[in-house]
Amino acid sequence: MFRSLHMKLVMILLLLVTSLMAVVGAFLITRVTNFFIDDFYQQMSDAFGDADFVSSLRAEAGQDEGYRRIQSLLELYAGTLGIDSRSRNYYVLDADTGEFLAGSDEEGGATLQQTANILTARNGKVGDKRDIASNFMDVAVPISGGENHYIVYIRDNRSTVASLNSQLLLIILQALLVGLLVSVLLSFLLAKTMIDPIEKLTEGAERIASGDFDEQLEVDSTDELGILTNTFNDMASVLHETLDAVENERNKLDTLFLHMTDGVVAYDRDGALIHCNPAAVGLLGRAPQECDYATVFEPLCPFERVMSMQRDDFIESTLTVGDRSVELYFAPFSDEDRGGVLIVLHDVTEQRKTEDRRREFVANVSHELRTPLTNIRSYAETIRDADGDLPRETENGFLDVVIQETDRMTHIVQDLLTLSRLDSGRTEMVMARFPFGEAIDNVLRSIALEAQRHGHELTHEYLTDLPLVMGDRGRIEQVMLNVLSNAVKYTPDGGHIHVTAGAAEGRVWMEVSDDGIGIPVADRERIFERFYRVDKARSRESGGTGLGLSIATEIVQRHNGTLSLAEHEGPGTTVRLELPILQHVVGEASYG
């Protein structure tokens, strides 16, 4: 109940009432006391300023036992002088000795002291000095008549004032008590009207601090607290909207970081990891907790160096993780106190591989073209240098080589052109439905003679009915012919070549098996690469360019199919061609 603000309010009100009553009390008591003192001296001055009274006193003083006569006169004037024999008394004193002679207070003679005013009167002057600090008021007036010298002394012991003051004090204390009670009640009333809304505001602020923006505070009044509550509600909705916007932005960034292929790692200015997206985890090959800057990045780019850079600057570096090449970009992400370091990781493995392949390809092309050119040149030079001295047959043989090499070069250039067209998508596939089995029969017929020339036994078997297939028949037959002619080429004479085909699960396939020289395990992956040949001499001998399977692969891929080496038992090779029966994905192909 006595919560801080409420307690303070009670204390303030109590202090206010107490101090108010203290001031009022002090003021009242002083005024009452002063009034009584003023009244006493005024009364005395009126009485002793009355010439008749004073001359009567003097006349009485001149008589025998003048003091008794003065006493009688004073008794008569008791009302005027306010003598009540309780708080105010009169005394007749001997002016020479100050001795008590008569008075309204019989005891007075024994207890009366020689006050300053009495001493003044004994010196023949009126003693009417007031002393606020003393507990009595007095006036001493010298009265002489004939030989007799007396002092009429009026003394008030202020008991009336004291009792009045104590009554006043009592009233003030009672008023104080009532005031205190009222102030406690008031504090409750104030608490209801002031502290309750403040408490509601506090609760609202606490709710907002804990992230709950749903409830708006009720506005009960139109005073300053009502305005404050309204403003608070407005502030809460603006804060909610702002936080929502920030949250939205954060979610956007999180989603971006989550799905982007580049890795992003962020550290705060003390080097502690703030963020590490899945791509970064994959590229670094480490769990986020193992990605501390000191271990992973410090040797590549010191932390302090990045922190000292401008925001639009960055440092580039490379990192090799296993067989992957990663390019790194270091940048500070804020130049304020709360900044840090951001690292973007870009996987350049494929890029590097492509560059290597391109370099290799150019080297291969140059090499492949140089060999026939060198041959042509040397044979031509020999013929020229012989200057017609060569026997006719030899010369014709040399010229045959020149023609052969020229054919080879034409072949290579044609293959390169075909590949280049396929690469750039300039080769349009004329898509149509054609019977897969008929295409195989066609190719088998065209290779039969060549197989026969090498004494190969060429057999085939269709394991299922072969359906119509969507594709560019001419290109597919080109692929089949390439695979079959390889089987013929790379099988020593008198070998066996067996073709099987079938259809299953929306796809058709054809396998060409031979019992030829086979392909070593190490080369199996690479024979589909451009210019790759297991045995260059043999391939060249048989007129191969090393581009046949690359072209075949490109064509098959354009049909969403695969060309691969299948499992093969014993010596020889099995090449498998697989195609979808229908072409669902239009891609670059067009349906003719």
Which residues in this chain contact ligand ADP in the complex, by CB under 6 A? 482, 486-487, 490, 514, 516-519, 527, 532-535, 539, 544-550, 573
Q: How far is the CB of 587 from ligand ADP (least distance, A)?
A: 24
Q: Which is nearer to ligand ADP, 138 or 511 (CB)?
A: 511
Distances 318 to 313, 327, 328, 358 between C-alpha atoms, Å: 17, 4, 6, 22
Nearest to 110 by CA among 118, 120, 95, 99: 99
User: DSSP per residue over 529-582, as a string?
Assistant: STT--SSHHHHHHTT--S-HHHHHHHHHHHTT-EEEEPP--SSSEEEEEEEESS
* Distance from the Cα of residue 419 to its chain's centroid: 54
CB of 542 to ligand ADP, least distance (A): 7
Q: Assess contact for 88 and 177: CB atoms under 8 A.
A: no
CB nearer ligand ADP, residue 298 or residue 523:
523
SS3 per residue for 190-227 = HHHHHHHHHHHHHHHHHHHHCCCCCCCCCCCCCCHHHH
Distance of closest approach, residue 361 Cβ to ligand ADP, in angstroms: 14
Q: Are the CB atoms for 332 and 311 separated by under 8 Å?
A: yes
The pairing of strands 496-504 and 457-462 is: parallel
Minimal distance, residue 560 CB to ligand ADP, in Å: 21
Instruction: Please state the closest distance from residue 368 (CB atom) to ligand ADP, in A.
Output: 11
Three-class HEC string of 375-417: HHHHHHHHHHHHCCCCCHHHHHHHHHHHHHHHHHHHHHHHHHH
Exposure of 278 by Cβ count < 10 A (0-12 exposed, 13-18 middle, 19+ buried)? middle
Rounded to the nearest whole angstrom, what is the least distance from the CB of residue 411 to ligand ADP in the complex? 9
Q: Which is nearest to 479 in space by CA: 563, 400, 359, 407?
A: 563
Reduced DSSP (H G I as helix, E B as strand, rest coil) percent helix, strand, coil of the chain, to 5: 55, 20, 30
Q: What is the DSSP letter of 127?
A: B
183 versus 553: smaller Cβ distance to ligand ADP: 553
C-beta of 8 vs 453, nearer to ligand ADP = 453
Q: Is 326 helix (H, G, I), strand (E, B) or coil?
A: strand
Contact between 383 and 399 under an 8 Å Cβ cutoff? The reply is yes
- Among residues 70 and 483, whose Cβ is nearest to ligand ADP? 483
Query: Do 208 and 19 touch, CB atoms closer than 8 A?
Result: no
Task: Give the nearest distance from C-beta 528 to ligand ADP in angstroms.
Answer: 7
In this structure, the number of other CB atoms found within 10 A of the CB of residue 198 comes to 14
With beta carbons less than 8 A apart as the criterion, state whether 492 and 538 touch: no
As a whole number of angstroms, the distance between CA 401 and CA 383 comes to 12
- Looking at beta carbons only, is 144 or 371 nearer to ligand ADP? 371
CB of 546 to ligand ADP, least distance (A): 4
Q: Which is nearer to ligand ADP, 93 or 487 (CB)?
A: 487
Least distance (Å) between residue 519 CB and ligand ADP: 5
Q: Min. distance of Cβ 482 from ligand ADP in angstroms?
A: 6
Taking the complex as a whole, the smallest distance from the CB of residue 539 to ligand ADP amounts, in Å, to 4
Q: Is the Cβ of residue 104 or residue 486 nearer to ligand ADP in the bound state?
A: 486
**Token code pair at residue 489:** 């080429």
Distance from C-alpha of 344 to C-alpha of 129, rounded to nearest angstrom: 103
**Secondary element (H or E) of residue 166:** helix 159-190
Which residue lies nearer to ligand ADP by CB, 89 or 545? 545
For ligand ADP, the closer CB: 219 or 413: 413
Nearer to ligand ADP, 82 or 516 (CB): 516
Q: Looking at beta carbons, which residue is closest to ligand ADP?
A: 544
Between 518 and 580, CB nearer to ligand ADP: 518
CB of 457 to ligand ADP, least distance (A): 15
